[in-house]
Amino acid sequence: MSRSGALAQIDTLLSTITDPPFVAVYRGEPLAIAGTPVVAFWMTGRIPAFETLGDIGSRVSVMIRAFFRMQDSADVRESIELEVWDAMVEIDSKLKSDANLGGHVTDSSVGSATIGYLNMGGGVFRTVSVPFEMQLYSEVTITP
């Protein structure tokens, strides 16, 4: 198991989504976005858990967010709604297809997707936010 391997596998799984065709996958919360749609993921927290006499496991939380640039065109806005729905289903499907992230985590779970709007850099984006949690047994070794 490795932390860097888990992040690389999330990147790989999100990169294989073709509907909608994301133009980029970003590691880290973006401060600006050039082209859309894009998907990004970043760490949101870690909770130590599963403690034994020899090690400690953890639960690590990640936010996955897809961004779609809104435009004045009613046709574009209507087509974005289908892309938003497709993104929710595809993110869920891809992450559930490899629950142990190529052997880098013990297990993972995909949370409920939420939809919203975000102002960034003078633009308005429709967003899909999906919480993702990874469980890692024996992440920290306790040495007497």
- The predicted pLDDT at position 7 comes to 95
- Structural domain harbouring 101: 3-141
Overall number of domains in the chain: 1
- The predicted pLDDT at position 101 comes to 96
- The predicted pLDDT at position 74 comes to 67
Which stretches of the chain score pLDDT less than 70?
74-77, 138-140, 144
Q: Which tokens in the block code for residue 130?
A: 């999906």
DSSP the chain: --HHHHHHHHHHHHHT-TTTT-SEEEES--S--SSSSEEEEEEEEEEEE---SSEEEEEEEEEEEEEEE--S-HHHHHHHHHHHHHHHHHHHHHHHTTTTGGGTSSEEEE---EEEEEEETTEEEEEEEEEEEEEEEEEEE---
- The predicted pLDDT at position 125 comes to 94
User: Could you read off the pLDDT of 40-72 as tens digits, one per residue?
Assistant: 999 999 888 877 777 777 899 999 999 999 877
Q: What is the CATH number of the domain that holds 101?
A: 3.30.70.1700
